[in-house]
Structure 1
Amino acid sequence: MTDFINKTFKGLTASYYIRQLVFGAAIGFALVFLMSGGFKNITVGLIIFAIISTLLYPYSRFVYESIVNFIFGNNVFFVNAIWLLAVKFVTMSMCWAGAIGIAPIGLVYLYFYHTKNNTNL
């Protein structure tokens, strides 16, 4: 069981996981604030959803970035900064909202990747 946890949940680098966790927490905080009317009508379900989505967000984002990297490769695009930030915010929000469904894909990939490479974390 420890091997499974090491190959999946510890499969991302600590710096990547913490960076994505900070962004996920910010999105979760903003969503809870907006959905509860400024923290006036907070429900337990909303809090649980926000916590789970925040913890799984780094794995969801890993899946998204892997797909984008596969499609675009090492190409560089020059675009308007405001447009880039808007698209970034939308994709981050989508990854956060869908983290419960998307993250298992990343966890399975990490498990097989670390099993294949025989790396023990």
Structure 2
Amino acid sequence: MKYPFSDPQIEQIFADFPSDSRLHLIELRQLIFSTGATLSHVSKIDECLRWGQPSYVSPIGTALRLGVPKSGGFGIFAHCQSNVISNFAQTFGTDFRFDGNRGVLFETREDIQPDKLCLLIKHALTYKLNRN
């Protein structure tokens, strides 16, 4: 794994995810770290637990969380009072399934579309720079 877990509690959360979602959530985790590594303004990404979910935040961003919604599948979530999800939905509304203004939901690996999803990740990791 290119970005190993630094917190055993977070590693355990991933181990406890349903097996049909776990690998996809790890792929989303890797995408968050690799996308962050391309951003010159992002010095680091903190991996922590927020609301019981693995969360990723940069000093100039808003948190992204990974989890399994009650409806099944897996998802990436942003703070519902940010515009991260709503801006992404305006651009790619027909390409993804959304949970209101708080998340993007996936059923399969093919639903992830990393080339598009990295734009959501970039927006979240630099959110404080771009707030209007």
- TM-score, normalised with respect to structure 1: 0.33
- The structure with the larger Rg is 1
Which structure shows the higher strand fraction? 2
Which structure shows the higher helix fraction? 1
Q: Which has the higher contact order (CA 8 A, sep 6+)?
A: 1
